Amino acid sequence: MKIRTSTLLVATLLMVLAIGTTDNTYAQKKNTKNKKKTEQKDKAKTDNIPDSIATAKKDSAEAVFENDVIDKVVREEAQAPKGPVMLTDPKRNLPSKMWYGVHFSDAYVKKPSVTLDSIPDEIKITLVKDYSEFCFPMKNVITSPYGWRERWDRPHRGVDIALNTGDPVKCAFNGVVRIAKSFGGYGNLVVVRHYNGLETVYGHLSRINVKQMQVVKAGDVIGYGGSTGHSTGPHLHFEVRFQYEPFDPEWILDFKNYSLRTRVLYLNKTYFGISKPRNKKDIAYKADKSIVKERPITPATNAPKKKTEYYTVKRGDTWEKVAKKYKVSETQLKSMNPSITGKLPVGEDIRVH
């Protein structure tokens, strides 16, 4: 009886130990399984982190680069001039203040209070220092000169230069625009005051290309030729004035060579004023040896060559008439036909271009 009881106790004890061992093994397996799942999740998170960081860094670098480019463009745009250059401080920077003070109105071409009596008998004016400060406003023939107009029995205070509507009209010297608007008989008008003391006037423009107070340089296109205002056809009405008083532009401009006659102008008081002539007399325009030509322009190699053009002389034709018809000077026309001297022979073919 004692042996059976002991055997039963031993069996029970072994059973308990076996159950405990099984529970521990199961728990260990479960823990190991859970641990592996946790490790897999952590690894997955860890594996995703570098891609996110790399993408973020790339986006950040691109953003920084883009911002640098934008900042550079903004700085360049801020430094670059936007549109026309305007006079910033008129009271200090107005041209020719010695002659005009701070008067810079666009209400008049000629100031009423200034008369010929206030102008010195002779003035020395340095027109330019070098060729870059001068440009011929419109290279073409004069269709109506400065002086008395017998047809209308009144003075003509400038010269009319032939052109076609839309031809660019260029500023003669460096300066500042005083008038840029429609102005009575002048039509669309531009008046520029220059640093050399003169003012130049450009009338009958089809379109104005500048604004008042705009700083301009010789050669800048200030407008385009037309026939606005009191005009019988397309042409440029061009004036040169000193102290608001006009004088003959041919005292400074050579329309045969399209050049400036002189660097220094000795402006005599007798050059001003227009009176009805009692007898016709040609003016001998004075010029020193310092004739100023524009900067020479090198023609493009691929520029199309102008075709040679001829004209058959008709009865009544003269050098002047044919020159005006084909918009060349008489000198140019004669140089193209050196074999012809004297009057044009009727029926002869002459070169005009």
125-182 pLDDT, tens digit each: 999 988 789 999 999 999 988 888 777 677 888 999 999 999 999 999 999 999 999 9
**Any residues with CB less than 8 A from the CB of 261 and at least 6 apart, and which?**
251, 252, 253, 254, 285, 286, 287, 288, 291
- Residue pair 132/293 in contact (Cβ under 8 Å)? The answer is no
Mean pLDDT, the chain, rounded, equals 77
Residues 225 and 114 in one domain: yes
Separation CA 204–CA 137 (nearest Å) = 14
Of 13, 46, 80, the residue at which a domain comes to its end is 80
Number of CB atoms found within 10 A of residue 5's CB: 9
In a domain, 85, yes or no: no
**Any residues with CB less than 8 A from the CB of 36 and at least 6 apart, and which?**
none
pLDDT at 43: 53
Residue 292 has pLDDT above 90, yes or no: no
Number of CB atoms found within 10 A of residue 239's CB: 21
Residues 144 and 101 in one domain: yes
Which of the two residues, 333 and 31, has the higher pLDDT score? 333
Which range marks the domain in which residue 161 is found?
Answer: 97-271
Total count of domains within the chain: 3
Residue 117 has pLDDT above 60, yes or no: yes
Residues 262 and 113 in one domain: yes
- The pLDDT-based confidence of 297 (bands split at 50, 70, 90) is very low
Residue 22 has pLDDT above 70, yes or no: no
- The pLDDT-based confidence of 79 (bands split at 50, 70, 90) is low
Separation CA 44–CA 49 (nearest Å) = 9
Model pLDDT for residues 188-236, shown as the tens digit of each residue: 999 999 999 999 999 999 999 999 999 999 999 999 999 999 998 999 9
Residues 139 and 167 in one domain: yes
- Residue pair 156/176 in contact (Cβ under 8 Å)? The answer is no
Number of CB atoms found within 10 A of residue 7's CB: 10
